[in-house]
Amino acid sequence: MNTPRYDEVQVGDALPALELSPISRTTLALFAGASGDHNPIHIDTDFARKAGMPDVFAHGMLGMAWLGRLLTNWAPQSRLYRFDVRFQGITHLANAISCTGRVVEKRDADRSVRVEMQSSNQHGQTKIAGDAWISLP
């Protein structure tokens, strides 16, 4: 990975987008196992329907992990020192998620940049929005 350099990054620069396959039950089951989050609303259709949902849906932390991958595809994880998100919508089965980000601020004092990012489905609905601070060499 080529770490971006502070002097080369400009406000307005876009991070390379992360395009994901549509959400499947397999993805949800694998994430439940990997994360230890076995909340039945994410893996049990009957439970989800009893809770008033049409079906199971993705874990919020799975969506945050995708945004984390967007960031760490651009700069090493060791450079990330703040990562905040706001959950704005449910990510349903078959949603194809796209994660995007853009540099919105540079701070000379510590050679860091603030990146605003979001995940959206194929219909343009934002699921998660947030920002992160990344220090650059």
- Let me know if residue 113 belongs to a domain: yes
Owning domain of residue 62: 10-23+58-135
Domain at 121, CATH number? 3.10.129.10
Q: How many domains does the chain have?
A: 1
Check: pTM over 0.75? Answer yes or no: yes
Three-class HEC string of the chain:
CCCCCHHHCCCCCECCCEECCCCCHHHHHHHHHHHCCCCHHHCCHHHHHHCCCCCCECCHHHHHHHHHHHHHHHCCHHHEEEEEEEECCCCECCCCCEEEEEEEEEEHHHCEEEEEEEEECCCCCEEEEEEEEEECC
- Let me know if residue 16 belongs to a domain: yes
Each residue's pLDDT tens digit, 7-62:
999 999 999 999 999 999 999 999 999 999 999 999 999 999 999 999 999 999 99
- Let me know if residue 33 belongs to a domain: no
- Let me know if residue 93 belongs to a domain: yes
- Let me know if residue 15 belongs to a domain: yes
